[in-house]
A and B are shown apart, each in its own frame.
Chain A
Amino acid sequence: MARTATAPGAPTTRLGKAAVDFDDRLIVAGPLRRTLNKVFPDHWSFLLGEIALYSFIVLLLSGTYLTFFFDASMREVVYNGSYAPLRGVEMSAAYDSALDLSFDVRGGLFMRQVHHWAALLFVASIILHLLRIFFTGAFRRPRETNWLIGVGLLVLAILEGATGYTLPDDLLSGTGLRIISAIILAIPVIGTWAHFAVFGGDFPGELIIGRFYIVHVLLIPAILLALIAVHMLMLVKQKHTQFPGPGRTEHNVVGNRLFPTFAAKAGGLFFVVFGVIAMLAGLVQINPIWLWGPYNPAQVSAASQPDWYVMFLDGSTRLFPAWDINLPGDYTIPALFWPTLILPGILFTLLALYPMIERKLTGDTAAHHLLQRPRDVPVRTSLGAMAVTFYFWLMISGGNDVIADKFQLSLNAMTWVGRLGLVILPPLVYVITYRICLGLQKHDREVLEHGIETGVIRRLPHGEFIEVHQPLGPVDAHGHGQLAYGGAPVPKKMNQIGGARRAIRGFFTPIEEPTAVELEQRREARGLAAAEDRDLTTSGRPSEGGRPSEGGKPQEPRD
């Protein structure tokens, strides 16, 4: 029996006693305290991953609800529900039950739209999260494995979305399915075998919706869940990265403890994400399947478009030239194979291997926990900008018929613009991004050397006009700043270094004492100073780099 039960200071309240009882059985006080004390850095870009996580939770909840009503069967039935325009029409049971969900289940349409909007947000936030990891170098050692898992999550999320999109068996999803079927057929050598394995025969057969259903509600979500769990465990184990700044080193994390501050903010974010999805789901119609009608292989709706995250493949398929490769023996590698399977294969492989590629190129195998500002790594940033351009150009090309229609352009011209743009734009963006990075770097160094432009113009005795600069730190004999660049944002406006006082709060009437504010600010200044003075080396390690206040070793930008 633990000593605490009888020791002085033992809890006397009922809750306290219950807690002791609990810990007697499970011995969790230690790990729980460690968890509550875990420090999380504070930066808006770290919220993107959280948004992905929360939309995934919303997906699980709303998706489970939908399964109570959805019937994933291709059996032919005659519609007889509330939506009059389709009454008497033959359709699959899948489409019929999706219509019932929309019109005969109270709140069912709302839940369908919640699910769809959450899916769109899920993939969007994953991609934004990935971009922040990429551009700040958070994928570097020791986080390469988590990067790989992340890419796996992205691919699975896209597949999950694509299978889900197919399920209602409306005209739009059926057209998508037809294209999926053609893509599978296009695989060289095994195409027809693969198609018959997946569809159980020729297109469409009677099995595919049922098979996609189980993949969509069980297989992929289970893998996603497992991977997300590993992703999070690894994050806890390796701790967060952080941007350089006062007191931040490679060997610490500066921020808020999990409890209560971070928990309150993260919980708040969850509710905001859920709320925004609910609001969108109610107010903005998405995928109104009853307007498309049941799938019919002889029909197609104009401007049929997949969900946005598959659109880049639609675009590549539109732009790729008509190049079948005819092999001896009457064998063919269809043109469709390259833009739909090879291209994404290459893209995702490059993405997955990027950390290793960068390591090879730079020879940098050290562990990094401090993030980089994109400008300080111009090559990586420009490569990223190039890749993003490539992706978005393909995505836009996926809607080139809509653009052509809206602006009265010829489709053929749009296709050629798309092809040329795909070749010309990315390198162009590379060069421009590189320039911008260097320019920003130079400006940082200038401000460190000469100080902030104050906007005060002074006339020297001999008549010359100069602008007064406010140095950021001690200067040498020539008036040049001695601060080294530490990888953190350099203040460039007087306000950022306290040139202006904090405003007194209060809307109509001040609710603070001006003198109190003054005092508080002085206290704050002292608090900060105390932070700077603190010996950050409790573990006996010398603190290193990234502390301009110490004139610390600057972090050499690498590229």
Chain B
Amino acid sequence: MTTHDTRPGSAGGADTPGPLHGGPDDDYTPEQLAAMSRDDLDRLGARYDGVQVLHVDPGPEPGSALERRYVRQVGAVFMLAGLAAFAFVVVYVGSGWFLPDWEWTIDAGTWSSLFTPLLGLLMGLSLTLVGVGMVLYSKKLLPHETAVQDKHDGSHFDRVTTGATLVSGLHKSGLARRKLITRSLAFMGGGLGLMLLMPLGGLLKNPNTGNPLGRTSWAQGVRLLRDDGTPIRPGDQVPGSLETVFPAVTGGNRESDAATMLIRLRPEQVAVDRPREGQADFGYGDYVAYSKICTHAGCPVSLYEQETSRILCPCHQSQFDITQGAKPIFGPATRALPQLPLALDDEGYFVARSDYIEAVGPTYWNRERI
């Protein structure tokens, strides 16, 4: 290798252009190309790109009845597409101006209930017709040609020369020999990678401090309120009924885990009621309260079937038997719904005796330890 480039350049001598980029200009003089027909030029270029046009079905003869017919068809389709598009514009702009209002009204069968369907119909029609027109055009009016393109495998020459360039560059850098540099590079790379990841640490939050997972707003003396904020006395509900209640704290009825079902058992149910161990006194008279949050994946369980004493979760159909401490008896849930210990306050309204004694909602790794 030498630093003396003998070719002329900006440092002196004439600056002559190199060979032209691309096609084989040396094989085809401009005169030769000018003498060729457009079709031949097309084929020539295609051949140069490894494409042979085998067979052309020229499409309908110019001026023939067939052509006129297809031209009419395609033209009509495009025309209709344009019409539908303009109709869309009219509906969009005109509603509330020279057409009735598009805004929502409570009655069915008005313009407003037609507005969206009309927009969709017209835009859909217009776009579909554009597509149909294009396909029709290519099927009926374009010549059908069958072309064959060669597929090439990689070139040995390219592989060997590229490999040589890569390896020689690497070789010249001497990285393979200079171990200290490779090691420091690896160290640096690891550090940099970690450093750039660090800000993601801002996402982390300790789930174990303050026990937010195992807690709800229920606590000793907190009243059970209906969604509308009214408290409940024994006797307000008929036997066999269920009401959803929330803790009497601000935002209690929006709290994700606090929703509770207050159920008044029927006498037959009371007779067979077998509460969970150690929770026999959690109920109050014929009332029991269970968490509404499914222990499977956290949906609110909602369907209460009195005859079978079952509560069904609509999400994956777990079923809980409220005469057996809300134990799951079918479906994917594995744990009973936690029970809320009940009492009455001085005014005779239902209150909680404490928070739930276990975490409500879905199971997780260390749930039993919280």
With most chain B CB atoms within 10 A of its CB, the pick from A270, A271, A511, A512 is A271
B161 CB, min distance to chain A CBs, angstroms: 20
Q: A110-B120, A257-B51, A264-B142 are in contact. Are A195 and B104 (CB under 8 A)?
A: no
CB distance B316 to A332 under 8 Å?
Answer: no
A539-B138 contact given A191-B365, A324-B363, CB 8 Å threshold = no
- B-binding segment of A151-159, A161-169, A291-299, A432-440: A291-299
Are the C-beta atoms of A280 and B334 separated by less than 8 Å?
Answer: no
B330 at the interface (CB under 8 A from A): yes
- B118 in contact (CB, < 8 A): yes
Q: Which of B33, B118, B256 contacts A297 (CB 8 A)?
A: B256
A199–B364 Cα gap in the complex (Å)? 16
* Chain B positions within 8 Å of A252 at CB level: 148-151
Which residues from 240 to 289 on chain A have a C-beta closer than 8 Å to any C-beta of chain B?
247, 250-257, 260-261, 264-265, 267-283
Report the minimal beta-carbon distance from A122 to chain B, rounded to whole angstroms. 17
Q: A9-B33, A283-B120 are in contact. Are A197 and B204 (CB under 8 A)?
A: yes
In chain B, what residue has the closest Cβ to A185? B364
B159–chain A nearest beta-carbon distance, Å: 15
Task: Give chain A interface residues in 498-539, CB to chain B under 8 Å.
Answer: 505, 511-512, 524, 527-528, 530-531, 534, 536, 538-539
Question: For the complex, what is the distance from the CA of A117 to the CA of B118, rounded to whole Å?
Answer: 17
* Contact string against A for B residues 1-32, beta-carbon threshold 8 Å, 1 for contact and 0 otherwise: 00000000000000000001111010000110
Do A30 and B23 contact each other (CB < 8 Å), given the known contacts A318-B317, A401-B314?
yes
> Is residue A34 contacting chain B, with contact meaning CB distance below 8 A?
yes
> B45 near A322 (CB under 8 angstroms)?
no
- The distance in angstroms between the C-alpha atoms of A192 and B362, with both chains bound, is 11
Asked if residues A300 and B54 are in contact (CB atoms below 8 Å), the reply is no
Residue B83 at the A interface, CB < 8 A?
no
How far is A178 from B227 in the complex, measured between Cα atoms in Å?
20
Q: Mark B249-272, 1 if CB is under 8 A from A, else 0.
A: 000011111010000000000000
Taking each of B119, B204, B293, B297, which has the highest tally of chain A beta carbons within 10 Å of its own beta carbon?
A: B297
| B165 interface hit (Cβ, 8 Å) | no
Asked if residues A298 and B54 are in contact (CB atoms below 8 Å), the reply is: no
State whether A106 and B95 are in contact (beta carbons under 8 Å apart), knowing that A192-B366, A268-B138, A282-B120 are contacts in the complex: yes
Asked whether any CB of chain A lies closer than 8 Å to the CB of B302, the reply is yes
Chain A residues whose CB sits within 8 angstroms of the CB of B368 once the complex forms: 326, 330-332
Which chain B residues border A282 with CB–CB below 8 Å? Answer: 116-124
**Interface status of B221 (Cβ within 8 A of chain A):** no
B-chain residues with CB within 8 Å of residue A274 when the two chains form the complex: 127, 131
Given A201-B212, A261-B142, A505-B66, are A182 and B317 also a contact pair (CB < 8 Å)?
A: no
- The interface residues of chain B lying within 8 Å CB-to-CB of A387 are none
Question: A107 near B203 (CB under 8 angstroms)?
Answer: no
Give the residue among B45, B118, B127 with the most A Cβ atoms within 10 A. Answer: B127
- The one of A253, A257, A277 in contact with B46, judged by C-beta atoms closer than 8 angstroms, is A257
In the complex, how many angstroms separate the beta carbon of B103 from the nearest chain A beta carbon?
5
Give chain A nearest CB distance to B149 CB in angstroms: 4
On whether the beta carbons of A239 and B124 are closer than 8 Å, the reply is no
Rounded to whole Å, the gap between the CB of A269 and the closest CB of chain B is: 6
The reply to whether B131 and A271 contact each other, CB–CB distance below 8 Å, is: yes
Q: Does A473 contact B (CB under 8 A)?
A: no
What are the residues of chain B within 8 A of A106 when measuring CB–CB? 92, 95, 102
Query: Closest CB of chain B to A321's CB: distance in Å?
Result: 7
Smallest CB–CB gap between A496 and chain B, Å? 19
Chain A residue numbers with a CB within 8 Å of B106 are: 84-85
Give the residues from 80 to 116 in chain A that come closer than 8 angstroms, CB to CB, to chain B: 82-85, 103-104, 106-107, 109-110, 113-114
Minimum CB–CB distance from B116 to chain A (whole Å) comes to: 5
Are A318 and B126 touching (Cβ within 8 A)?
no
Known: A186-B362, A280-B120, A527-B55. A268 touches B34 (CB 8 A): no
Q: Report whether B332 and A322 are in contact in the complex, using a CB–CB cutoff of 8 Å.
A: yes
Which residue of A is nearest B368, CB measured?
Answer: A330
Q: Are B45 and A269 in contact (CB under 8 A)?
A: no
Interface size on B, residues (CB 8 A): 108
Q: Contacts A106-B95, A191-B364, A538-B52 known; A39 to B302 CB distance under 8 Å? A: no
Q: Which residue in chain B gives the minimum CB-CB distance to A535? A: B52
Q: Is B237 an interface residue (CB 8 A)?
A: no
Is B369 an interface residue when CB atoms closer than 8 A count as contact? yes
Chain A residues, CB < 8 A from B212: 201-202
B150 touches A251 (CB 8 A): yes
Q: Tell me if A497 counts as interface (CB < 8 A to partner B).
A: no
Contact status A39-B256, CB under 8 Å: no
Find chain A residues with CB under 8 A from B303 CB.
302
Asked if B146 is an interface residue, CB under 8 A from chain A, the answer is yes
Is the CB–CB distance between B332 and A7 below 8 Å?
no
* Residue pair A239, B149 in contact (C-beta under 8 Å): yes
> What's the nearest-Cβ distance from chain A to residue B31, in Å?
6
Asked, given contacts A251-B151, A300-B315, whether A268 binds B132 with beta carbons under 8 Å apart, the answer is yes
Q: Which residues of B contact A2 (CB under 8 A)?
A: 20
Which of A212-220, A333-341, A372-380, A545-553 lies at the interface with chain B? A333-341
A residues in contact with B206, CB < 8 Å: 193, 196
Select the residue from B30, B92, B119 with max chain A CB neighbours within 10 A: B119
Q: Which residues of A contact B361 (CB under 8 A)?
A: 182, 203
Least CB distance, B6 to chain A, in whole angstroms: 26
> What sequence of 0s and 1s flags, for each residue 314-337 of chain B, a beta carbon within 8 Å of any chain A beta carbon?
111110000000001011111100
In the docked arrangement, what's the CA distance between A263 and B34, Å?
A: 28
| Contact between chains at A181 and B134 (CB < 8 Å) | no
- Whether A179 is near chain B, meaning CB under 8 Å from some CB there, is yes
Asked if A103 contacts B104 (CB within 8 A), the reply is: yes
Once A279-B125, A280-B120, A531-B55 are accepted as A-B contacts, the answer to whether A267 and B134 lie under 8 Å apart by CB is: yes
**B274 at interface (Cβ–Cβ under 8 A)?**
no
**When the two chains form their complex, are residues A336 and B49 in contact, meaning their CB atoms are under 8 A apart?**
no
Task: Identify which of A182, A303, A528 contacts B296 (C-beta below 8 A).
Answer: A182
Tell me whether B240 is interfacial, beta carbon within 8 Å. no
B367's nearest neighbour on chain A, judged by CB, is A332
Question: Smallest distance from the beta carbon of B310 to chain A beta carbons, Å?
Answer: 11
Q: Contact at A261–B138, with CB atoms within 8 Å?
A: yes
A304 within 8 A of B: yes
In the docked arrangement, what's the CA distance between A326 and B314, Å? 26
Q: In whole angstroms, how far apart are the Cα atoms of A300 and B297 in the complex?
A: 13
Whether the pair B131, A272 counts as a contact (CB closer than 8 A) is yes
B80 at the interface (CB under 8 A from A): no
A64 interfacial contact with B, CB 8 Å = no
A175 interface residue, CB < 8 Å from B?
yes
Which B residue sits closest to A114, measured CB to CB?
B120
A38 touches B298 (CB 8 A): no
B124 touches A279 (CB 8 A): yes
Q: Report the minimum CB–CB distance from B30 to chain A (whole Å).
A: 3
Whether B338 sits at the interface, judged by CB under 8 Å, is no
B314 & A3 in contact (Cβ 8 Å cutoff): no
Task: Tell me which residues across on chain B come within 8 A of A283, comparing CB atoms.
Answer: 117, 120-121, 124
Q: A264 to B55, Cβ gap below 8 A?
A: no
Chain B positions within 8 Å of A409 at CB level: none
Task: State whether A107 touches B92 (Cβ < 8 A).
Answer: yes
A1-34 near B? 1/0 per residue, CB < 8 Å: 0111001111000000000000000010110011
- Spell out A's residues near B (CB within 8 Å): 2-4, 7-10, 27, 29-30, 33-34, 37-39, 82-85, 103-104, 106-107, 109-110, 113-114, 175, 178-179, 181-183, 185-193, 195-198, 200-204, 239, 247, 250-257, 260-261, 264-265, 267-283, 296-304, 314, 317-318, 320-324, 326, 329-336, 339, 369, 400-401, 411-412, 415, 505, 511-512, 524, 527-528, 530-531, 534, 536, 538-539
Q: Which 3 A-B pairs have the closest CB atoms?
A: A282-B120, A279-B124, A9-B34
Please name 7 pairs of A and B residues whose Cβ atoms are closer than 8 Å in the assembled complex, sorted by A: A113-B120, A192-B208, A271-B130, A282-B117, A282-B119, A324-B335, A538-B150
- Given contact pairs A275-B124, A282-B120, a sample of 10 additional A-B residue pairs in the complex whose CB atoms are under 8 Å apart: A37-B46, A82-B104, A255-B147, A256-B147, A271-B131, A280-B124, A283-B124, A314-B316, A530-B55, A534-B148
